[in-house]
Structure 1
Amino acid sequence: MTNGVTPESVGFSSERPGRVNKMMQGYIDKGKLASGLTMLARHGETFHFEPYGVLDLESGAPVEHDTLFRIYSMTKPITSTAVMMLYEEGHFSLDDPVGKFIPELASLKVYDGMGETGMRLVDQQQPITIRHLLTHTSGLSYGFHQDSPVEEMYREADITPPDGTLQEMAEKLGRLPLLTQPGTKWRYSFATDVLGYLVEVISGKPFDQFLQDNILDPLGMSDTSFFAPEEKLDRLATVYGAGKGGIAPLHNPLVDRHARPHTLFSGGGGLVSTGADYMRFCQMLLNGGALDDHRLLAPKTVEMMRSNHLADALKPFAVGQSNASDTKGCGFGLGFRVVMDIAQHGIIGSNGIYSWGGAASTAFWIDPQEDLVAILLTQFMPSSYYPLRREFQIATYQAMVE
């Protein structure tokens, strides 16, 4: 699969998309990234599909159109889609307590600061709902922060070991207090992993099998899975981080789990995919829930997913402990960041863009107003290290001329 149509035929300049290539190649040439791939499609036609660099600095094998990338949190919209497919079948309402299906999460205590004898724990004022999980307002966390003793408890609990199960993950979360009262704060968390378990409980199928049967197979996403099988390992790009005098390959459980079979299928960050596969998923959403002859969701369901569900008091939200600059002017839907005020957002684009990214600096966005999908894949941690996503968005929209 290569560029399907010319940029001019879909309202882009013939020369200006070259700035995307120049931006990405610049990172490669300066030794800041090893690999990259960018993909743009408008009106259902791919007009830019460019690989950059090498899979691995040691081997020097070039990135190809079918290179596999760990997409980490770009798994979340796929999990959210699975949840909303079950919603359409009538299994629950968005404001149902998750404890109805996962009893381990029914009555968690809530952290309320430190007292003389240690942590103060209080009862929930309202239960965690499925909407709370979809919008990261459940009171769960990831353990990335340093602002609470609850975070330390998360780090010690080893919530998602590769060879565990989703049920064991729910049991571990059930033994920890919530960081905040459900519905009162936005906090990036294991919520989408819990949703993967919810899919498993309601459907009666293992989570990976549900995705395979109901999303990946119908959409023809044949290279998307929770780990690269042995026969595809030579297509899996290496993850790099900043090292002394350049970049260095990273090896840790978060990176290495994708290169071997395992049993804990993370709905929050577990998938490996390709540009072409993820484009099919995005195009399905942009089309209002259908691709080719397969309808996964109704248009009204997709509309609900890409609407803002956050009250003003919960904005702006931030993924890390750094500032919330990339979420200025944004709300959050059921699995996506949603641009509500493009001027406040401060990056050219459109109101209504919905998007998310992954831990290894990957990103995608869908722009319903311009009928556009954009995908950026690379393998570099942490994702906040370079302004890649912002630069890619600017380079894309400056090339759109009609």
Structure 2
Amino acid sequence: MKTALRTLAAGFVLTSALCHAGAAEPLPVTTPADQGVSSQRLERLHDFLDQRTRRGDYLGAVALIARNGRIVDWRAWGWRDLARTGQMPRDAIFRIYSMTKTVTAVAVMTLMEEGKLSLDDPVGKYLPAYAKARIFTSGSVDMPQTRPTARPLTIRHLLTHTPGFAVYGQDGDPATELFKRAHVEASTDLEDYAARLAPLPLAHEPGAEFHYDGVPIQLLGRLVEVVSGMRFDRYLQQRIFSPLRMDDTGFEVPQAKRARIADMTTTDRDGKLAAPAPGSVSAAGERTNPWFSGAGGLYSTAGDYVRFAQMLLNGGSLDGVSILGRKTVEFMMSNQLTQLEGGLKEFSPGEGFGLGGSVVLDPARRGRLGSIGQYGWSGAAGTYYTIDRNEKLVAILMTQHLPQGLPHDPPKLAVPFYNLVYQSLVQ
């Protein structure tokens, strides 16, 4: 009885606080039960995240769940800063890293809808240096042997991580070493990035293999600039962030908002949370790269990202603002790797890849609760989102921790988080 009262009281406090904020909330707010979600079952999720932050696996976390376009749960746990002087706020700002990729894919698709490009257009049509791509065949780093590709490198190849850029080979592999020598990460802007990448030989025929990496998405940022005639950050601001009122999303954080940035943590050799090594992560609020990284450069909040995700769940529109058309969103959330056997082998059985995120093909084979067609992605520092059109559900989890590949790294939260979200659905 006490547990039930505590659950109901917690739900009442949360809902009252959200409703009191009124128009400031990212989406309308309601009780979980109103949208077929069990408050009692949500307590399992709350307890899980409370335990993980209390015992020090993660410094803090923010989780937001929306169903049928209404927020049913939005809470924060733990601490915002490593010194533990301030509790984690619900509007904390996080480095979302690869969740940026979905935003970049949406930007490309807005240009497609305007007829300014087609996905099967050669990249060389817009970036001439890519018109004569070549593949590494043999030889050494100093004397590489190459041949022309059998088919052109296309925009679709970039969106689906199948272009063949030599970023995944073993150390010492000549094509990979050539990539390292180009120092593309030292580029000053996206134009410089594209120029350094263009002369490098590919490791395989475009479209032949899937290898997840940020390089093709960085190049898409430059393509957006050339096709739109606008700097990449400005294009995202004008076409996506401002229309959706994503006021806390961008490649940099204004000084006035930096006190809301969640501290980045990692795990030291004793298994304790620690700050990353100096220079390994950009200063809080600063750009993650000199260029505007469409692969992983954005900061955002759970509140901002739920508006972006809800727009996609709605078929491209939110609050009377249209970003994309319905069929375009359906296309983005369709598996684009049908030419490759076995789906997304690089990550999880039962998954394919759409444009900007993964697509669930078989929940049972994937090994967690969910739906066929469920779409979403994650970020390197423990940020996650999913969009489930069957359940009309958006679920977001934000943490800020970079694992080191050490035995003491905390367990990743994605599988239990999504299982706990889905088990709370009762209608």
Q: Same fold (TM over 0.5)?
A: yes
RMSD: 2.2
Q: 2:18 is matched with which residue?
A: 2
Residues 1:266 and 2:284 aligned together: no
* Alpha-carbon offset, residue 12 of structure 1: 1.1
Please say if residues 219 and 291 of structure 1, whose CA atoms lie closer than 8 Å, have aligned partners that are also in contact. Answer: yes
**309, 326, 344: which one aligns with 1:299:** 326
Where does 1:360-371 land on structure 2 (aligned, <5 Å)? 360-371=381-392
**TM-score, structure 2 as length reference:** 0.87
1:378 aligns with 2:399: yes
Give the count of matched residue pairs: 395
Q: TM-score, normalised by structure 1?
A: 0.92
| Structure 2 counterpart of 1:227 | 252
Unaligned runs of 5+ in 1: none
Once the two structures are TM-superposed, the CA of residue 257 in structure 1 deviates from its matched residue by 5.5
* Change in 2 beyond 3 A, CA 1:235/1:316: same
Aligned to 1:104, which of 121, 129, 142?
129
Q: Is the 8 A contact 1:36 1:376 kept in 2?
A: yes
Letter in 2 for 1:355: G
The answer to whether 1:49 aligns with 2:61 is no
Map Cα deviations across residues 285-344 of structure 1 (whole Å, 9 max, x no partner): 00000010110100000011101110253544355xxxx3xx211111111100011221
Secondary structure of 1:5's aligned partner: coil
- Say whether residues 1:170 and 2:194 are aligned partners: yes
Percent identity over the alignment?
39
- Equivalent position amino acid for 1:290 in 2: S
Match of 2:65 in 1: 40
Tell me how far apart the structure 2 counterparts of residues 358 and 86 of structure 1 sit (CA, whole Å): 25
C-alpha contact 2:357 2:376 (8 A) present in aligned 1: yes
Give the greater-gyration-radius structure (CA).
2
Does the C-alpha gap of structure 1 residues 235 and 338 become closer, same or farther in structure 2, counting only changes over 3 Å?
same
- How far has the Cα of 1:120 moved from its partner? 4.0
Instruction: Give the direction of change, closer, same or farther, for the CA distance of 1:377–1:114 in structure 2 (3 Å limit).
Output: farther
Measure, in 2, the Cα distance between the counterparts of 1:186 and 1:302. 22
How far apart in 1 are the matches of 2:415 and 2:171? Answer: 27
My pick for the range that moved more, 279-288 or 239-248, is 239-248
Instruction: Indicate whether 1:66 and 2:86 are aligned.
Output: no
- Give the Å deviation of 1:371: 0.1
The answer on whether the counterparts of 1:135 and 1:334 sit within 8 Å (CA) in structure 2 is yes
Match of 2:204 among 173, 180, 192: 180
**Cα offset for 1:259?**
2.5
SS across alignment from 1:37:
strand
User: In the alignment, what sits opposite 2:273?
Assistant: 247
**How far off its partner does 1:227 sit?**
1.4
The separation in 1 between residues aligned to 2:50 and 2:175, in whole angstroms, is 42
Residues 112 and 252 from structure 1, CA distance in 2 versus in 1: closer, same or farther, beyond 3 angstroms?
Answer: farther
Q: Secondary structure at the match of 1:366?
A: strand
Q: 1:30 aligns with which of 49, 55, 58?
A: 55
Cα distance in 1, alignment partners of residues 119 and 89 from structure 2: 41
Instruction: Pick which of 149-158 and 30-39 moved more.
Output: 149-158
Q: Could you tell me how far 1:143 is from its partner in structure 2?
A: 5.5
- Counterpart CA distance in 2 for 1:53 and 1:173 is 42
CA-CA distance at 1:96 after TM superposition: 0.6
Residue 128 (structure 1) aligned to one of 119, 130, 153: 153
Residue 342 of structure 1 pairs with residue 369 of structure 2: no
